[in-house]
Chain A
Amino acid sequence: MNASALKIGTSHPRGDAVAKAAGTERYAADLYPQGCLWAGAVRSHQACGRIISIDTTAAAALPGVVKVLTAADVVASNRQGIIHKDMPVLCDDLVRYCGDPLALVLAETKEALQRGMSAVQLQLEPLPGLFDLDSALAADAPLIHEDKPGNLLAQASICKGTGLDGFDACSVVVEGSFSTPVQAHAFLETESGVARLEEDGGLLMEVSTQSPFRDRFEISHALGIPWGKIRIVAPSLGGGFGGKDGATVQCLLGLAAQHADGRWVRMQWDREESFKAGYKRHACRMEYKLGAAADGTLQALHAKLWYDTGAYAHLGAEVMELGMEHAGGPYRIPHTLIEGWCVYTNNPTAGAMRAFGVCQATFGFESMMDLLAAKLGMDPLELRLKNALVRGDENCAGMRLTTSTGIKTCLEQLQQHPFWQDREVWKAASPAYKKRGIGLASVFNAAGYGGGVRDAATAKIELTPEGTFLIHNAVTDMGQGNSSAFLQIAGHILSQDASRVLLKQPDTRTAYPSGSSSAGRTTYTFGKALITATEELKARLLNWAGMILFLQDNDGLELQPGRVLHQPSQKEVSLVALAGYMQPEERVCLGQYVAPTCKEVPPTAKGFFIGFPHVIFGYGAHLVRLEVDSLTGQLTVCDYLAVTDGGRVLNPGMFDQQVQGGVAQGLGYALMEDFTVRDGVVKTPDFATYLIPGSLDIPEIISIAAQGEPEETGPFGMKGIGEVAMNGPLPAVANAVADACGVRLCHGPLTPQRVLAGVKG
């Protein structure tokens, strides 16, 4: 009878698979409340300018247009932002990027909205814009934000050992300069939501968000609604990848609701608006210098990273800081100096995205490792193995690793794979006008918020009167599958099959603050809290069953699907019956968890606001086999192998999906994704110009779980791997191109044009 119970460590189908395959899953973008108003933002066509006037008279007079709002209608701070509140809901003085919102139109229909938006008269005085790092950092550059001298959102450094003096003892030193492009999240469901004011003056919003609980603070700060009166409901997301971490439509929608007389208001950005106004991955410029002893032992690193954060902060400083913390790769390096600058420009705003600042630095570092191996005449895998971190080592940021550290295991498993063992044979068989190459990358990615931030969750599970279990999820499921993991965790502990464990997506009224769905923390932190809650509920059920069956203790009692059974006597109590005996509050259990933080913060980092250091990391060893077409420069990725250390695997199928999704998105970043902005204007406004990979561009991705240690702190020994796979493809592909044709490409993406230019010399 236990055969059908959900079990940790097995590949159960996702809980949302049927609804999503059948198209019945309801996303925020599917909501069209009866009689709702439509809201849309009128956006700046200037990248930098001063507002002379916004004339709303003509627009407001149009039939079907209900209200036209400007900054003057915002009663509170009119500033949003997760940490740095520098982003106006509606601009009041300056516009800082092409797309900055200036007015908000409410209308009865989508068509009236379009007419109203076109009729708003904007008068802007253009000011000179800053569109690249050099002009923004120039001594005489105008300030994008008056309170940020030098146009620096953040400037920080990590210095470990003797810093640059470490180069003195190096026998071999290599240097390189790299850059990475802006990447768009390109989720299927664009930013969207609905909202209305409730009779008590509270705000109800159902919205596509990764951070329902924190959104309340952003909205409250910007619009003056007490956060306790804001209720956010977060259905499944049609993709997030970091782009829905923090307010997108939320403050605009809240403002619209404040002026809608209690009617529902709907806002959905179209693709072009999403590309223009949504957050992006930071473009990054890097300078690297890496030194080693003659035997390949790494000695010293100097890395300089500049991140273009665009017009507003979002999480730019934290993105830079995480990139810096990973800038030396998963290796032992005794002496490091890592410097970072996060720079305001008049480009679209950059913010959180999967592998948050890390995939940029990984391109630099893993390219350097191959350059170093070549200079040493050493096998690139041997060089990586030799320097790979093990538990007890200090990482490049000076943090001593006390948790599971599986990079060496990943590399060793990769080494045993036929793709590595047979590499020379495979390469030698390349067809005419093609050159084959094999590239490696070893990657890591921190999990959790990091030092200085409470990384906590409160889980809630209840036994329903129908005898099923309902989990109140509090961390959004953006498609990564955390809700399925929660079903599996609860089903495993309670020995229930899939039909008896249900899940409600986040609602700030019925669930409890548990942080954002981000940072590889979602399943980890909430999962730990859920284990506590579920075990308490299990104990209550056994106790009740024991009382009903007149048993002196729990010996021989076990939960089975739908019932509690006393094995020796074969007597049972159904869960429906138990639910009837129990008081409503007794059927509900809460559990809490606070993720571990570093107790002895190394004194290596300066200029970090929060988020340093991290204590848990996922690791991966990646290998790509590809062909370079020497006539066209086109790359064909033939095979991809990713060995990943995520501690113990809860669901092998979903583990592989996470890795494959990360690799596919990483291959897009490596091969073609290039969000292009010239003079502040987006040149890739849609999917005809901003290319993401299709099925033919992505090979079979082989995912192997490292046979390493479980992560003792995590739920059933797991740790987050949602981001780590994203880091590998760009450096692995670059290394494979170099292996194939001797061309070292240092600027992403690795387009046919760049490859061919390299081949031609």
Chain B
Amino acid sequence: MWATMTQCTDRCKRQISFPVTIEELFAVQEQQPEARIMAGGTDLLVALRHGPQDTRPIICLERIEELRRIDELPDNSVSIGAAVTFGSIVRSPLLKARYSLLTQAASTVGGPAIRNMASIGGNIVTASPAADSLPALYLLDAQLELRSTTGSRTMAIAEFMLGPRRTLLQPGEIISRIILPPAQDWSIQLFEKVGRRKSLAIAVASLAAMLRLAADGTVVEARFAWGSVGPTVLRCPAAEALLKGQPLSEAVLTEAAALVQDAVSPIDDIRASADYRRTVAGNLLLRLVA
């Protein structure tokens, strides 16, 4: 049976469970359908601080080994358990060799302590417009494996994300794995996050870029995704198409930047103005020739 039922004094009378298999997790969930699922807690615990009246049970994923593994699959795709921390992602030689875009993005999450707690699955489920891993996962065509007592299904990440804090995750369902299709050969993989400080910052704008160049330096394929400039990750097919067959130059990228600045729909908030986010979203493309 799973280790369970810790409670924290008079303060909350909250039930907390630590299942060690996914089956156990579903068994707890059946008894406590209102329970919250927690991996690293870096989003959930902050939310609970501001809502102490929420005493729903918590089911922790941290002891479910299956959710904490990074595995290469027989077809050369790579599976990342939903509870894998960004720290583990940053330290994985396999991911660094094949999907350096994700490694770069993961290394911008919070600071070292946050990275050692925060999970990639949590980053996806929280569905923040500013989530650091999402632009990279979009470009890498990540597939999500969703499990429930009734079975599992797989879905492309872009399909899964509906909007800020909204996904297609159904009640009783969890993300179990993120599957990255076999790595392709990209000439450039670049992730840049712009925040208000150099660590522990929420993205004001971010860009993930992957490009394949021909021997003469012209662009064969370009993929771009932006974070924090719209309700979900933003792609800009027009900018990608514009680059195709062109040399990677400041002039072409400036032209593409203008298309991006038209395409984004950022907001004003305490961190930055919409205008700043729009400008930066375009400008970041020029880093490709820096």
A433 to B254, CA, bound (A): 13
A632 to B199, CA, bound (A): 16
Q: Which chain A positions have C-beta within 8 A of B199?
A: 694-697
Complex interface: stretch among B74-82, B154-162, B177-185, B275-283: B275-283
- Is there an interface contact between A632 and B280, defined as CB atoms closer than 8 Å? yes
In whole Å, how far is B208's beta carbon from the nearest beta carbon of chain A?
Answer: 16
- Is there an interface contact between B284 and A632, defined as CB atoms closer than 8 Å? yes
- Is there an interface contact between A760 and B197, defined as CB atoms closer than 8 Å? no
- Is there an interface contact between A631 and B198, defined as CB atoms closer than 8 Å? no
In whole Å, how far is B267's beta carbon from the nearest beta carbon of chain A?
Answer: 14
Complex interface: stretch among A209-217, A332-340, A685-693: A685-693
- Is there an interface contact between B284 and A751, defined as CB atoms closer than 8 Å? no
Name B11's contact: one of A111, A432, A697 (CB within 8 Å): A111
Which B residues between 1 and 53 are near A, CB-CB below 8 angstroms?
10-11, 46, 52
- Is there an interface contact between B270 and A756, defined as CB atoms closer than 8 Å? no
A672 close to B (CB within 8 Å): yes
- Is there an interface contact between A691 and B196, defined as CB atoms closer than 8 Å? yes
- Is there an interface contact between B270 and A676, defined as CB atoms closer than 8 Å? yes
A684 to B270, CA, bound (A): 8
Interface string of A717-752 (1 = CB under 8 A from B): 000000000000000000000000000000000011
In whole Å, how far is A61's beta carbon from the nearest beta carbon of chain B?
Answer: 19
Which B residues between 212 and 267 are near A, CB-CB below 8 angstroms?
none
Q: Which chain A positions have C-beta within 8 A of B290?
A: 431-433
In the complex with contacts A688-B46, A752-B194, A631-B270 CB distance below 8 A: no
Interface string of A668-705 (1 = CB under 8 A from B): 00011000100000011000110101111100000000
In whole Å, how far is B287's beta carbon from the nearest beta carbon of chain A?
Answer: 6
Complex: chain B residue closest to A678, CB-CB: B270
A751 to B289, CA, bound (A): 25
A504 close to B (CB within 8 Å): no
A697 to B286, CA, bound (A): 23
- Is there an interface contact between A696 and B11, defined as CB atoms closer than 8 Å? no
Total contacts A to B, CB within 8 angstroms? 63
A11 close to B (CB within 8 Å): no
A468 close to B (CB within 8 Å): no
Interface string of A101-129 (1 = CB under 8 A from B): 00000000111001000000000000000
In the complex with contacts A431-B290, A631-B286, A694-B200 CB distance below 8 A: yes
- Is there an interface contact between B198 and A694, defined as CB atoms closer than 8 Å? yes
- Is there an interface contact between B10 and A109, defined as CB atoms closer than 8 Å? yes
B172 close to A (CB within 8 Å): no
Name A111's contact: one of B10, B204, B273, B279 (CB within 8 Å): B10
Name B287's contact: one of A114, A433, A683, A752 (CB within 8 Å): A433
A688 to B197, CA, bound (A): 11
Name B198's contact: one of A109, A689, A696 (CB within 8 Å): A696
Complex: chain B residue closest to A64, CB-CB: B10
A713 close to B (CB within 8 Å): no
Complex: chain B residue closest to A683, CB-CB: B270
Q: Which chain A positions have C-beta within 8 A of B280?
A: 631-633, 752, 756
Q: Which chain B positions have C-beta within 8 A of A760?
A: 279
A433 to B272, CA, bound (A): 21
- Is there an interface contact between B200 and A634, defined as CB atoms closer than 8 Å? no
Name B283's contact: one of A114, A631, A697 (CB within 8 Å): A631
A510 close to B (CB within 8 Å): no
In the complex with contacts A432-B289, A688-B202, A632-B197 CB distance below 8 A: no
Q: Which chain A positions have C-beta within 8 A of B52?
A: 114
A654 to B214, CA, bound (A): 58
B93 close to A (CB within 8 Å): no
- Is there an interface contact between A672 and B197, defined as CB atoms closer than 8 Å? yes
B163 close to A (CB within 8 Å): no
A752 to B198, CA, bound (A): 12
A693 to B200, CA, bound (A): 10
- Is there an interface contact between B11 and A110, defined as CB atoms closer than 8 Å? yes
A753 close to B (CB within 8 Å): yes
A691 to B271, CA, bound (A): 10
Complex: chain B residue closest to A694, CB-CB: B199
A688 to B290, CA, bound (A): 31
Q: Which chain A positions have C-beta within 8 A of B198?
A: 694, 696-697
Q: Which chain B positions have C-beta within 8 A of A756?
A: 276, 279-280
Which A residues between 422 and 478 are near B, CB-CB below 8 angstroms?
431-433
- Is there an interface contact between B283 and A632, defined as CB atoms closer than 8 Å? yes
Q: Which chain A positions have C-beta within 8 A of B164?
A: none
Q: Which chain B positions have C-beta within 8 A of A688?
A: 46, 202
A56 to B286, CA, bound (A): 62
A757 to B111, CA, bound (A): 29
In the complex with contacts A632-B284, A752-B194, A694-B111 CB distance below 8 A: yes
In the complex with contacts A111-B11, A688-B46, A631-B200 CB distance below 8 A: no
In the complex with contacts A632-B280, A676-B270, A697-B287 CB distance below 8 A: no
B201 close to A (CB within 8 Å): yes
Complex: chain A residue closest to B289, CB-CB: A432
In the complex with contacts A693-B197, A694-B197, A752-B286 CB distance below 8 A: no
- Is there an interface contact between A433 and B197, defined as CB atoms closer than 8 Å? no
Q: Which chain A positions have C-beta within 8 A of B202?
A: 688
Looking at A109, A693, A695, A753, which has the most chain B CB atoms within 10 Å of its CB? A753
Interface string of B135-160 (1 = CB under 8 A from A): 00000000000000000000000000
In whole Å, how far is A521's beta carbon from the nearest beta carbon of chain B?
Answer: 33
Complex: chain A residue closest to B283, CB-CB: A631
Q: Which chain A positions have C-beta within 8 A of B272?
A: 752-753
A59 to B260, CA, bound (A): 56
Interface string of B101-135 (1 = CB under 8 A from A): 00000000001000000000000000000000000
A752 to B194, CA, bound (A): 9
A734 to B272, CA, bound (A): 20
- Is there an interface contact between A632 and B200, defined as CB atoms closer than 8 Å? no
Complex: chain A residue closest to B272, CB-CB: A753
A433 to B279, CA, bound (A): 15
In the complex with contacts A631-B286, A634-B194, A752-B194, A691-B270 CB distance below 8 A: no
A684 to B273, CA, bound (A): 16
A683 to B269, CA, bound (A): 10
In whole Å, how far is B13's beta carbon from the nearest beta carbon of chain A?
Answer: 10
- Is there an interface contact between A632 and B194, defined as CB atoms closer than 8 Å? yes
- Is there an interface contact between B10 and A752, defined as CB atoms closer than 8 Å? no
A98 to B197, CA, bound (A): 29
Q: Which chain A positions have C-beta within 8 A of B204?
A: 752
Q: Which chain B positions have C-beta within 8 A of A691?
A: 196-197, 201
Q: Which chain B positions have C-beta within 8 A of A632?
A: 194, 280, 283-284
Looking at A632, A688, A752, which has the most chain B CB atoms within 10 Å of its CB? A632
Interface string of A623-654 (1 = CB under 8 A from B): 00000000111100000000000000000000
In whole Å, how far is A269's beta carbon from the nearest beta carbon of chain B?
Answer: 15
Q: Which chain B positions have C-beta within 8 A of A696?
A: 197-199
Q: Which chain A positions have C-beta within 8 A of B194?
A: 632, 634, 752
Complex: chain A residue closest to B192, CB-CB: A632
In whole Å, how far is B98's beta carbon from the nearest beta carbon of chain A?
Answer: 27
In whole Å, how far is A275's beta carbon from the nearest beta carbon of chain B?
Answer: 13
A615 to B211, CA, bound (A): 65
A169 to B284, CA, bound (A): 51
18 more CB-based (< 8 A) A-B contacts, given A433-B287, A631-B287, A753-B276: A109-B10, A111-B10, A431-B290, A432-B290, A632-B194, A632-B284, A633-B276, A671-B197, A676-B270, A684-B270, A688-B202, A689-B270, A691-B201, A694-B197, A694-B199, A694-B200, A695-B199, A756-B280
Give me 28 A-to-B residue pairs in the complex whose CB atoms sit less than 8 angstroms apart, sorted by A's number.
Answer: A111-B10, A432-B289, A432-B290, A433-B287, A631-B280, A631-B283, A631-B286, A632-B194, A632-B280, A632-B283, A632-B284, A683-B270, A684-B270, A688-B46, A688-B202, A689-B270, A691-B196, A694-B197, A694-B198, A694-B200, A696-B197, A697-B197, A697-B198, A697-B199, A752-B196, A752-B276, A756-B280, A757-B276
- Using a CB–CB cutoff of 8 Å, the interface residues on chain B facing chain A are 10-11, 46, 52, 111, 194, 196-202, 204, 270, 272-273, 276, 279-280, 283-284, 286-287, 289-290
- Using a CB–CB cutoff of 8 Å, the interface residues on chain A facing chain B are 109-111, 114, 431-433, 631-634, 671-672, 676, 683-684, 688-689, 691, 693-697, 751-753, 756-757, 760
